[in-house]
Amino acid sequence: MRTSNNLRALSAAVLVSGMLGIAACGGDSDPEALPQIPIIAFTSTISLLDQQNTALRFDNGVQYVDGGVKGTKGLIVVRQKAGSYLAFDRTCPYQPTSACATVSIDPSRLFLRDTCCTSQFSLQGQVQGGPSRYPLRQYATSLNGNLLTISN
């Protein structure tokens, strides 16, 4: 009898803790729970020979690229090394629907930041500080000669 009562008590405890865990996961009180950055299909090609893209000719060079992509706040492209480029959405993943949630290149050109929420990101798009818990949205890049194609 005593074993049966202990099993019932243990089963009840497991059930209650499981329900609490599910309830905690389902809450929407976290403004950053699911970044609402729009997913927009696009392909944009830029010439690395274009005068406005000279920063992308050097390692760790970073440049804003409009890319003609509607629905985003623009792109930031980083040259890691010859032939290796990264492209990120300028929309900050922390409260992305805020009008000022726009990532900029820091004047030092060593990192990226959102002056609105103070989040900072490395040139690889990873969070370095501030309230954001998510990295920048990254897009695919491919290089063909002097033409860099960015797409999602």
How remote is the C-alpha of 41 from its chain's centroid?
16
**What CATH number is attached to the domain comprising 48?**
2.102.10.10
Q: For residue 70, what are the domain limits?
A: 43-151
- Distances in Å between the Cα of 90 and the Cα atoms of 15, 18, 23, 147 are 44, 39, 33, 21
Q: Is the pLDDT of residue 9 over 70?
A: no
Q: Is there a domain that residue 113 lies in?
A: yes
* Model confidence, pTM: 0.76
Q: Is there a domain that residue 47 lies in?
A: yes
Q: Is the pLDDT of residue 87 over 60?
A: yes
Q: Is there a domain that residue 135 lies in?
A: yes
**Beta pairing partners, 81:** 84
Q: Is there a domain that residue 37 lies in?
A: no
Round to whole Å and give the CA distance between 12 and 145.
65
| pLDDT tens, position by position, 21-72 | 333 333 344 544 566 788 888 899 999 999 999 999 999 999 998 766 666 7
